Amino acid sequence: MSIEQMILIFASIVAAATPLAFAAFGELVTERAGVLNLGVEGMMLMGAVAGFAVASQSGSLTLGFGAGLLAGLAMSLIFAVLTLHLQTNQVATGLALTLFGAGLSAFIGKSYVGLSLQGLQPISIPYLTDIPLIGRLIFHFDWVVYGSFVLLFGLIWFFKYSRWGLVVRAVGESPVSAHAIGYPVIRIRYLAILFGGAMSGIAGAYLSLAITPMWVEGMTSGRGWIALALVVFATWKPIRVMVGAYLFGGVTILQFYGQGMGVHIPSEILSMLPYLVTIVVLVLISRNPKTILLNQPMSLGQSFYPRT
């Protein structure tokens, strides 16, 4: 295998991991505030179709990503109004949101099937990209990839050092106590849900604008669910979410190459490998019940309505 080929494989792994990281980071913030939004898959699909539609109409990928973000945001707004104001059950509402997103994205995307466009290109960083080997390996990605790392360190900082990160954790642990000492629980949960939606939207748009620059119905193929699982198995820690995303991306790409090189394992088995490996590894690294109990937002999935 040539060096060129290895760089290619590495780039594909990064590309496969990035949307998962975005969606999972968004869901992590939502869940830290005590809200379980199972609609990630639906929000990603809406982000993908909106991103592709706007990008192919306007010719601007930036506008496309913007549209993807807004579509995810709008979907999560529906979820927020239903669960926070109308007190609907979070699990049922999230499932409904996924079904709704799948249907609506298929409907909107009908006239875009079969079209393709120029996908998102890596940016060259002066001097750094020119370093032999290493430059091409780690300084030759598109801005969304760099964005995912900014997001990773931003979230670590946010939850560890910032006051508002503390407030979000407090709301997720005990909305009743947070309300009693005077924090606007509903407003904080709103913001957390909307952040989750926006990140899912970007994740979806990355699929249809960067990885495979076209629209196919149901093109997320379960990545939203994997993102959800990542958050739980990573015990709500950003760094573990990132590790999980790269693990998933890695196995996905490697099994592709395995299929290409004619490994004698049925392709169906190879295709399910990434899902299996990611979950098994994450369960192994976080099986300590103490870690789970200490990091799990205690009010996860429970409705809260302030009594005045």
Partner 1 sequence: MNPPISSKFPRLELVGITKAYPSVIANQDVNLIVRPGEIHAVLGENGAGKSTLMKIIYGVTKPDSGSVLWDNREVLIESPAQARKIGIGMVFQHFSLFETLTVAENISLALDSAVSPAKLAQRIKEVSHEYGLPIDPHRLIHSMSVGERQRVEIVRCLLNAPRLLIMDEPTSVLTPQAVLKLFETLRRLASEGCSILYISHKLDEIRTLCDKATILRGGRVTGTAIPSQESHESLAQLMIGRNLPECQMAAKIPAETRLKIQHLNLSTIDPFGVTLKNINLEVRAGEMVGIAGISGNGQKELLAALSGEQPMSKGLTTEICGTPADTLSSSQRRSLGLRFIPEERLGRGAVPSMSLRLNALLTSSEGDGLVKHGLISYPDVRSFAQYVIAQFNVKCGGDGALANSLSGGNLQKFIVGREILLAPKVMIVAQPTWGVDVGAAQLIRQALIDLRNQDVAVLVVSEELEELFMICDRIAVIADGRLSPAVPASQTSVEKIGLWMSGEFNDVHAEEVSHA
- Tell me how far apart the 2 most distant CA atoms of the chain are, in Å: 68
Q: Does 307 bind partner 1 (CB under 8 A)?
A: yes
Here's the x/- map for partner 1, 9-48, by CB under 8 A: it reads as ----------------------------------------
- Our CB check for partner 1 shows the closer of 89 and 129 to be 89
- Our CB check for partner 1 shows the closer of 200 and 286 to be 286
Amino acid identity for residue 40 in this structure: V
* Contact call for residues 276 and 261 (beta carbons, < 8 A): no
Between CA 145 and CA 211 the distance in angstroms is 12
Q: Which of 140, 179, 189, 223 binds partner 1 (CB under 8 A)?
A: 179
What residues between 280 and 299 interact with partner 1 by CB under 8 A?
A: 289-290, 293-295, 298
What residues between 143 and 172 interact with partner 1 by CB under 8 A?
A: 163, 166-167, 169-170
DSSP string, 279-296: HHHHHHHT--HHHHHHHS
Q: Which of 57, 177, 221, 302 binds partner 1 (CB under 8 A)?
A: 177
Q: Does 89 bind partner 1 (CB under 8 A)?
A: no
Q: Which of 88, 89, 174, 259 binds partner 1 (CB under 8 A)?
A: 174
- Our CB check for partner 1 shows the closer of 174 and 212 to be 174
Q: Does 114 bind partner 1 (CB under 8 A)?
A: no
Nearest one of 241, 43, 285 to 153, comparing CA atoms: 241
Nearest one of 168, 223, 197 to 82, comparing CA atoms: 197
CA geometry: angle 147, 153, 159, nearest 5 deg: 125
DSSP string, 10-66: HHHHHHHHHHHHHHHHHHHHHHHTT---TTHHHHHHHHHHHHHHHHHHH--HHHHHH
- Our CB check for partner 1 shows the closer of 49 and 192 to be 192
Please state the closest distance from residue 297 (CB atom) to partner 1, in A.
9
The contacts of residue 290 (CB under 8 Å, 6+ apart) are none
User: Which residue is associated with the tokens 């999935």?
Assistant: 301
Q: Does 176 bind partner 1 (CB under 8 A)?
A: yes
Q: Tell me which stretch binds partner 1 (CB under 8 A): 151-159, 181-189, 195-203, 278-286.
A: 181-189
- Our CB check for partner 1 shows the closer of 143 and 183 to be 183
Residue 221 backbone zone (phi > 0: left; psi -120 to 50: alpha; other: beta)? left
Reported residue count of the chain is 308
- Which residues are near partner 1 by CB under 8 A? 163, 166-167, 169-170, 173-174, 176-183, 289-290, 293-295, 298, 307-308
